Amino acid sequence: MSEQSANLLMIRDLITAFDAVKMSFTEQDITDINAVIKRAGDRKEARDKLYNYPPK
């Protein structure tokens, strides 16, 4: 088997594994994860505003 064929098989296996993980998340899990990401972004914005206070 060539190195390219081995790499393609490895990529296929990785895609299959990612699909299996993705399928294990429920819609509620995804909603919760997105909410956590949004809160982290909101905190970063607030922190940036605080560090840049007073406005110049």
**What CA–CA distance (Å, rounded) separates 12 from 19?**
11
Q: How far is CA 50 from the centre of its chain?
A: 27
Walk along the chain (56 residues) and give the pLDDT tens digit of each residue: 798 899 899 999 998 888 888 778 888 988 998 999 898 888 888 888 888 877 76
Per the structure block, which two tokens stand in for 27?
A: 């819609």
Please name the residue that has the structure tokens 């970063």.
44
**What CA–CA distance (Å, rounded) separates 38 from 30?**
12
Cβ count near 5 (within 10 Å): 9
